Amino acid sequence: MEQKLIGWIEQHLKEHRFADDAPDSDLPPNVVLGVGDDGAILAARNLPQVLVADSIVDQVHFDLNVHDVSDIGHKAIAVNLSDVAAMGAVPESALVSLVLPRSFTFDKAQRLFSGITATADRFGAQVIGGDTCSHDGPLVINVSLTGRIPCDSNSPHGWRMAGARSGDLIVVSGPLGGSILGRHLKFEPRLQLASSLQKRIEIHAATDISDSLSTDLSHIIRKSNVGAELDCMKIPVSDAAHELSISSGETPLQHALHDGEDFELLLTMSESSFATLHDDPGFDNTLKAIGRVVDDHVGSILNAATFEKIVPSGYEHG
Label residue 278 exposed, middle or buried (CB < 10 Å: 0-12, 13-18, 19+).
exposed
Answer with the residue of higher pLDDT: 24 or 104: 104
* 58 assigned to a ligand binding site: no
* 24 assigned to a ligand binding site: no
- Tens of pLDDT along 139-181? 999 999 999 998 888 888 899 999 999 999 999 999 999 999 9
* 318 assigned to a ligand binding site: no
pLDDT tops 60 at residue 103: yes
Alpha-carbon distance 184 to 179, whole Å?
5
* 38 assigned to a ligand binding site: yes
- In the chain, where does the domain assigned CATH 3.30.1330.10 lie? 28-148
Beta bridge partners of 228: 293, 301
**What is the average per-residue pLDDT within 108-113?**
91
pLDDT tops 70 at residue 23: no
**What is the average per-residue pLDDT within 87-110?**
92
* 211 assigned to a ligand binding site: yes
Write the secondary structure of 145-185 as one string of H (helix), E (strand) and C (coil). Answer: EEEECCCCCCCCCCCCCCCCCCCCEEEECCCECCHHHCHHH
* 264 assigned to a ligand binding site: no
Answer with the residue of higher pLDDT: 7 or 292: 292
Q: How far is CA 258 from CA 87, 215, 236, 237, in A?
A: 22, 7, 13, 11
* Least confident interval from 29-33, 105-109, 134-138, 282-286: 29-33
- In the chain, where does the domain assigned CATH 3.90.650.10 lie? 169-303
List the CATH code of the domain at 169-303: 3.90.650.10
**What is the average per-residue pLDDT within 250-267?**
97
pLDDT tops 90 at residue 47: no
Answer with the residue of higher pLDDT: 40 or 309: 309
CATH topology (fold) of 28-148: 60s Ribosomal Protein L30; Chain: A; (3.30.1330)
Spatial neighbors of 104 by CB under 8 A, at least 6 apart, are: 134, 139
* 92 assigned to a ligand binding site: no
What mean pLDDT, rounded, does the chain reach? 90
